[in-house]
């Protein structure tokens, strides 16, 4: 059988900047999912956003569109099966926002000591809370005004009329996102429930970024990674930025042997 590592894509054969392609992909997905993402945080009447869109009374939200809602939830599992957590690094509008905020963060946390063993715990706890709210509490709906004119006026009225649980949810999301100005990508690393779900299944994905035996442990990959991870470690999103950074050309993108 052919060697899978030999068929994987190394830096020298890439012929492009992986980060440039990734930013282009993120911009495209921002156009497709951006409005839905921001409505999910600021205007969605449900405590757990993005999952009850077909029952949502906010008519202007793109999540009500059949193609957007069902297209997303059909493609996400397929993406996870093929590319693991790549959605976080290549498509998620929230991920893009966190990465841009992280560029200004004084603490990049791009060293092994800043990736504690409990790093995935926050996202798993958030995922469990979402499951409890959705299944056990019946996905409570906040008192969100439906027709209120322009977007920012609607957001202000939403915060004015929403119940406590909705306010707490939104404050946690916005607070941890704002924390990204100090600790880069804090939300994505330590609290995102979607990221935690994808993290838990990424080892079974068909294609991934991985290190070969030529790696000398210099950690150049971790230093350029916006998530502060080495290939295949916790919080690696298969972003492939490290393909262009490895001085030993010891990182591949493809099927791991």
pTM for this model (two decimals): 0.86
Using alpha carbons only, what angle is made at residue 77 by residues 84 and 5, rounded to the nearest 5 degrees? Answer: 30
Buried/exposed 31-42: b ≥16 CB within 10 Å, e otherwise = eebbbbbbbbbb
The CA dihedral of 164, 170, 173, 178, to the nearest 10 degrees, is -110
Judge whether 139 and 49 are in contact, CB under 8 Å: no
Q: How far does CA 208 lie from the centroid of its chain?
A: 16
Residue whose structure tokens are 């980060």: 19
pLDDT at 150: 75
How far is the C-alpha of 247 from the C-alpha of 221, rounded, in Å?
A: 9
End-to-end Cα spacing for the chain: 11
139: left (phi over 0), alpha (psi -120 to 50) or beta: left
pLDDT at 54: 85
Judge whether 202 and 208 are in contact, CB under 8 Å: yes
What secondary structure letter does DSSP report for 115? Answer: S
Buried/exposed 48-71: b ≥16 CB within 10 Å, e otherwise = bbbbbbeebebeebbbbeeebbee
pLDDT at 156: 84
Residues 6+ apart with CB under 8 A from 164: none
Please report, in tens digits, the pLDDT of each residue of the chain (257 residues total). 445 444 455 544 444 578 889 999 999 999 999 999 999 998 888 999 999 998 888 888 899 998 899 999 999 999 999 999 999 999 999 999 999 999 888 877 665 555 556 677 889 999 999 999 999 999 988 777 666 567 788 888 888 888 899 999 999 999 999 999 988 899 999 999 999 999 999 999 999 999 999 999 998 998 899 998 899 888 999 999 998 889 989 999 898 87
Residues 6+ apart with CB under 8 A from 208: 83, 84, 202, 231, 232, 238, 253, 254, 256
**3-state DSSP call for residue 167?**
helix
């Amino acid at each position: 059988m052919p060697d899978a590592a030999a068929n994987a894509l190394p830096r020298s054969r890439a012929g492009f900047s992986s980060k440039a392609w990734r930013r282009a992909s993120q911009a495209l997905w921002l156009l497709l999912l951006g409005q839905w993402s921001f409505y999910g945080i600021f205007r969605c009447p449900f405590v757990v956003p993005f999952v009850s869109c077909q029952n949502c009374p906010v008519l202007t939200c793109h999540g009500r569109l059949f193609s957007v809602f069902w297209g997303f939830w059909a493609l996400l599992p397929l993406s996870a099966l093929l590319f693991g957590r790549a959605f976080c690094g290549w498509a998620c509008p929230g991920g893009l926002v966190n990465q841009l905020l992280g560029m200004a963060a004084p603490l990049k946390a791009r060293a092994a000591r800043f990736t504690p063993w409990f790093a995935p715990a926050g996202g798993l706890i958030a995922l469990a809370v979402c499951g409890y709210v959705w299944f056990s509490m019946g996905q409570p709906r906040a008192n969100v005004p439906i027709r209120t004119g322009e977007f920012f006026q609607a957001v202000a009225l939403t915060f004015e009329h929403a119940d406590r649980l909705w306010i707490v949810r939104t404050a946690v999301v916005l607070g941890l996102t704002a924390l990204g100005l100090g600790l880069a990508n804090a939300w994505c690393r330590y609290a995102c429930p979607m990221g935690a779900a994808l993290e838990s299944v990424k080892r079974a994905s068909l294609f991934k970024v991985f290190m070969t035996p030529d790696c000398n442990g210099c950690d150049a990959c971790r230093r350029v990674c916006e998530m502060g991870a080495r290939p295949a470690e916790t919080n690696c999103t298969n972003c492939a930025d490290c393909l262009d950074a490895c001085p030993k050309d010891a990182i591949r993108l493809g099927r791991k042997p």
